[in-house]
Amino acid sequence: MRSGDVRGVATYDGPMRIALVTARELPRPDGDLAVLAQAAAGRGWLCTARPWDDPSEEWAGFDAVLVRSTWDYLGKLAEFRRWISDVGSTALLLNPPGTLHWNLHKGYLLELQAHGVPVVPSVLLGPGERPDWHQAFERHGELVLKPAVSAGSFGTIRVATGDHARANAHRAEHVHRDMLLQPFLPSVVERGETNLVMIDGAFSHAVRKGARWSGDAEQSRGLVEPTAEELDVARRVLDVTKGLGHGIPAYARVDLALGRCGRPMLMELELVEPSLFLDRAPWGAERLLDAVAARATST
């Protein structure tokens, strides 16, 4: 039962029930789940992991449904989109349905770029569309090709300068998909990405992650302190996201890399199912649960 304390802060008279939404089978362990469950238990909350595609689940019985490691949705995207809409109509889904739908397709990068966010230069190719490879190589040199709907670096490859055969073969393999064409950033290999975890719009912690291509294992290098410029970009990303009508996400991961200009650029804004590295930063779990409670008590 929801109530308020003397300070005007929303509280619960009884234990909150939170679903941590995951997949039936995971390609790797989700280190966030145990940390969140332990933090919730410390508050006396009931927090359990549930696969998103369990047809018998009563999602409306939870105070909040928190999307976490739904890493198998790529093979059943239409079903996952229906699940988002259905659950969002009967339960508090975090992040909200509209935000999740928007973030599933990397076309959001072009929208953020149009609103002044420094984004890795991206060209969106529609199904069957082929670019002028000669022009792309001439402009950018080595390229990156990735599906616009992807998870776990699925279908993401590097294409050496002038390798028309590899570029054409990969485009042919994914001919029915929207694809992003981007310049390869050497800093991704030399320095790695900086993944900034933002909870309720505020910076929580950051991880430096090594390069990962389709089929590679996760290569985390541990916690790091982001630069002031990286923090500024992350905050700008969330400000623009809010301005586009998506509000302040309960959780977000802003993945940055240094562009060829030497300044941080947005590679991905992860609002659906990003690893938040809470096993390295357990304070982030407490902050996330605070964000969940705030939203649950305001509905």
Query: Residue 6: in which H helix or E strand, if any?
Result: none
Last residue of a domain, one of 154, 183, 212: 183
**211 band by pLDDT with thresholds 50, 70 and 90:** low
Domain that holds residue 233: 187-270
Q: CA-to-CA distance for 180 and 150, rounded, in angstroms?
A: 11
CATH number at 150 reads: 3.30.1490.20
DSSP 46-61: EEEEEETT-TT--GGG
Residue 111 lies in a domain: no
pLDDT at res. 112 = 98
- Is 50 in the same domain as 7? yes
In this predicted model, what pLDDT tens digit does every residue of 195-210 receive, in sequence order? 999 999 999 999 998 7
**pLDDT at residue 6 greater than cutoff 70:** no
Last residue of a domain, one of 183, 207, 225: 183
- Is 210 in the same domain as 175? no
Please provide the average confidence, as pLDDT, over all residues in the chain: 91
- Number of Cβ within a 10 Å radius of residue 165: 10
Work out how many domains the chain is built from and give that number.
Answer: 3
- Is 137 in the same domain as 197? no
- Is 95 in the same domain as 34? yes
Residue 114 lies in a domain: no
Residue 113 lies in a domain: no
**pLDDT at residue 85 greater than cutoff 80:** yes
- Is 293 in the same domain as 222? no
